[in-house]
Structure 1
Amino acid sequence: MNQYYNTDFRGTIGEKQLLLESEVTLFDERTVWVAGGTVSTYFNNAFFSVWNGGMKDDFLTLANKYKGYELWIVGHSLGGAMASLAASYIENKKLYDGNLIKLVTFGQPRIGDKAFAKAHDAQIPYSFRVVHAHDIVPQSPLKGFRNYWHHKSEVWYNNNMTTADYVECDADESEKCSDQVPILELTFYDHHRYYNVYISEWGAAGCTGNPANPPTTGSK
């Protein structure tokens, strides 16, 4: 088994923050990204507030201690966007070997434009965006709106994620994965549930118990 350590980014807290993210991502200015292209200023600022707020020092300490280990970077929702930027930034600044970086996000929104997506593809060979069925967040902002575009690769579970039944799409965007879901069928319900776990309550409970039982209808 390969040796590794991981960096995890927490997701959005509540639907009010989720709606705020969607609004500012749609209409705010974008920021030129260090590795190429432009990204949402909201996500850019969110990442750097954490990076400059203590994460950088902690990361450099761990990177020096665990040289040669795989670095797994993961996150859900907003945390997925921040994880994606973290992987790109760390590789761009040569703080870690891009071939040792393993990026896996869940319910990640679109972060930047096509130039950013292509640059990201070249930086991080092991990069997967896991999407649960009709999750609305990975389709925000809409594909192509203000040139927003996903980077590769998508792993789409068009089910309740209790079995290993999924489709892998290695293109940045593919109608064979979640891009095929009609807009009116997208839901917050699937965004809150991954691998049969209601993520927010599961995390608050210390990642224990069986939190797949909160309401099975409605947006929660």
Structure 2
Amino acid sequence: STFPIEEQRFLFTSSEAVCDILDSSCLLFIVSSTKVNETIIAFRGTKSTSQLLLEGWDTYGVGSDFIGMGKVNRYFLRAQDKLWRAVLEFLARFEYRDHSMIFTGHSLGGAMAALTAARTVKQGYSPASAVRLYTFGQPRTGSYEFAKNFDALGFESYRVVYASDIVPHQPFCRKDELAPPNREGSRPCRANKDDEAYHHGVEIWYPESMKPGSLYLECLGEPKNEDMNCSDQLTFDMSNMDAFVWDHKHYFDVMVSGFGISGCSDRLIGSEKPTQSYVSKVIS
């Protein structure tokens, strides 16, 4: 029920690999259609609390160079490397050479999707015109230098952020202390330090709801990729952490992990959001 039957999509392969010292796994699916000449490469998000902690610990360590594009999170880089062989095997198949490609993922999966899309274009496996990237709740994946070089590759790239999901704001960017704070006390990210955490791609922010027809913003303001009119305007009081984590786990009115387990059922399976609408207070 995930795709229209007439598109004749099929599972080309799935690949799972151990990503860290706690034997946490990373997983991708490659779904293809010769009928519409399109392939989707989807990466699973963070599976366990311990995996999320390891990602966080690595985030604050020294980054690793990513194919000459700048520094990226070491955990994300290792995870992407583990699954790259499966992507290469697909890219080597002659019959798929003309396919457009969509890379996607939630949370950790979004970071791996971004690195894989960039690598596919940077190393000449597919032209930028044939590549699209859509991620959900993606953390900052690399440095400001990486973000600049990523954007320069020229393929379509959107990061969807729901309400006060805190993960897209991890690791925290270095704030511009010379800029005046907004009414919530937030300042813009510095857009001039090559080795500091910074987002690539255009943010799409749903400030309150993700039901069909809900308001969303295409964030094209300043600083580029870190638009202060979108989710960067928020501050995060850790006493509201349950609400921030809830937003990370619920996209388009479903609990992301439960949606997959249910076989992508059309029914809504999200749980009730904790307490107040934090974002409503900020944007009202």
* Cα offset, 1:143, TM superposition: 1.4
Q: Structure 1: which 5+ residue stretches go unaligned?
A: none
Alpha-carbon distance, 1:216 to partner? 3.2
- Which whole-Å CA distance do the structure 2 matches of 1:69 and 1:56 have between them? 14
1:110 aligns to what?
140
Distance 1:59-1:211 versus aligned 2 partners, 3 A rule: farther
1:126-205 pair list within 5 angstroms: 126-144=156-174, 147-162=196-211, 163-170=213-220, 171-184=224-237, 187-205=244-262
**SS of structure 1 residue aligned to 2:120:** helix
Structure 2 unaligned runs (5+)?
1-6, 8-35, 176-194, 276-284
> Does structure 1 retain, via aligned residues, the 8 Å contact 2:163–2:207?
yes
CA RMSD of aligned residues (A): 2.0
Q: Secondary structure at the match of 1:183?
A: coil
Distance 2:206 2:272 in 1: 21
Q: Does residue 83 of the first structure (1) align with residue 133 of the second (2)?
A: no
The Cα of 1:5 is off from its aligned counterpart by: 1.6
* Structure 2 residue corresponding to 1:73, chosen from 103, 113, 132: 103
Q: Partner amino acid for 2:91?
A: F
Question: Contact conserved, 2:91 with 2:97, CA < 8 A, in 1?
Answer: no
3-state SS of paired residue (1:91)? helix
**Mapped partners of 1:57, 1:111: distance in 2:** 25
1:23 aligns with 57
Q: How many Å apart are 1:56 and its aligned residue? A: 1.8
Say which of 190, 200, 208 aligns to 2:265: 208
- Residue-by-residue CA offset, 1:88-146 (whole Å, 9 max, x unaligned): 10111100011110000000000111110000001143100000010010000001386
TM-score, length basis structure 2: 0.70
Shift of 1:215: 4.7
Identity across matched positions, percent:
34
Relative contact order, higher structure (CA 8 A, sep 6+): 1
- Which structure has the larger Rg over C-alpha atoms? 2
Provide TM-score, normalisation by structure 1. 0.90
Alignment check: 8 A CA contact 2:135 2:160 kept: yes
Tell me how far apart the structure 1 counterparts of residues 83 and 37 of structure 2 sit (CA, whole Å).
26
Q: Distance in 2 between matches of 1:167 and 1:195?
A: 15
| Equivalent residue for 1:58, pick from 90, 107, 112 | 90
Counterpart CA distance in 2 for 1:124 and 1:87 is 11
Does the 8 Å contact 1:109/1:140 carry over to 2?
yes
Matches of 2:42 and 2:141 in 1, distance apart? 18
